[in-house]
Amino acid sequence: MSEKKCIISWDRLHRDCRKLSQRINQMDRKWDGIIAITRGGMIPAAILARELGIRVVDSISVRTYSHQQIEEPVILNDVSATEDGENFLLIDDLVDTGVTAKFVRQRLPKAYFATVYAKPEGRPLVDTFIAEVPQDTWIYFPWDLHLDYVKPIAKEADE
């Protein structure tokens, strides 16, 4: 199976996080806080916290990947703001195979789980998301990349 790439710019990420905020805001619920799944959920959680006026932001650190290899999930740092996630938004950048999602759902079963992007295998594990990405696509987030000069195609264009 060949791996496809999807490159997410800062602009696109921000726009998609705002869409997620709008969708959650339409629920007309009072949230006690946000829990970011680190590391990928930290930036989306910060954007949602701003957009939704939520001041309590906690995190749960779960490692499931090491050099793009799926491992058994391990909590590196647990959430402290809630016992079961009730009235909390649980935020991540992406649900992929669902390994992390299943693990965190067991730890915080009453949280409302939202991701910015979802792949088909993990999609049923979240309550909402903004865009679906094919399972065979690797997503590169803006924090994974750096900008660099690219030479023009025509040699004389660089003069």
The response to whether 74 counts as a known ligand-binding position is: no
Q: The pTM is what?
A: 0.89
Among 93, 136, 144, 158, the active-site one is 93
Distance separating the N- and C-terminal Cα atoms of the chain: 41
Strand order, beta sheet including 112-118: 69-77, 57-66, 33-38, 88-95, 112-118, 131-132
- How many other β-carbons are positioned within 10 Å of the β-carbon of residue 92? 30
The response to whether 41 counts as a known ligand-binding position is: no
Instruction: Report residue 66's pLDDT band, with 50, 70 and 90 as the boundaries.
Output: low
Q: What span, in angstroms and rounded, lies between the C-alpha atoms of 15 and 119?
A: 19
Per-residue pLDDT averaged across 2-6, rounded? 85
Per-residue pLDDT averaged across 73-95, rounded? 97
The response to whether 82 counts as a known ligand-binding position is: no
The response to whether 158 counts as a known ligand-binding position is: no
Q: Among this protein's residues, is 148 annotated catalytic?
A: no
Of 1-10, 27-36, 79-88, the range with the lowest mean pLDDT is 1-10
Per-residue pLDDT averaged across 73-88, rounded? 96
Q: Among this protein's residues, is 58 annotated catalytic?
A: no
Q: Among this protein's residues, is 96 annotated catalytic?
A: yes
Among 84, 92, 136, 148, the active-site one is 92
Under 8 Å between Cβ of 85 and 35: yes
How do residues 121-153 score in pLDDT, each as one tens digit? Answer: 999 999 999 999 999 999 999 999 988 888 888
**In the predicted structure, residue 2 carries a pLDDT above the cut 80:** no
**In the predicted structure, residue 81 carries a pLDDT above the cut 70:** yes
Q: What span, in angstroms and rounded, lies between the C-alpha atoms of 20 and 60?
A: 20
Which secondary-structure segment (H or E) carries 75?
Answer: strand 69-77
Q: What is the pLDDT of residue 155?
A: 78
Q: What is the pLDDT of residue 6?
A: 96
Q: What span, in angstroms and rounded, lies between the C-alpha atoms of 132 and 74?
A: 26
- How many other β-carbons are positioned within 10 Å of the β-carbon of residue 1? 5
The response to whether 33 counts as a known ligand-binding position is: no
Among 96, 136, 144, 158, the active-site one is 96
Chain-wide mean pLDDT for the chain?
93
Q: What is the pLDDT of residue 159?
A: 60
For the domain 4-158, what is the CATH code?
3.40.50.2020
The response to whether 50 counts as a known ligand-binding position is: no
Question: Tokens 């709008």, residue?
Answer: 22
Under 8 Å between Cβ of 118 and 129: yes
3-state secondary structure 98-126: CHHHHHHHHHCCCCEEEEEEECCCCHHHC
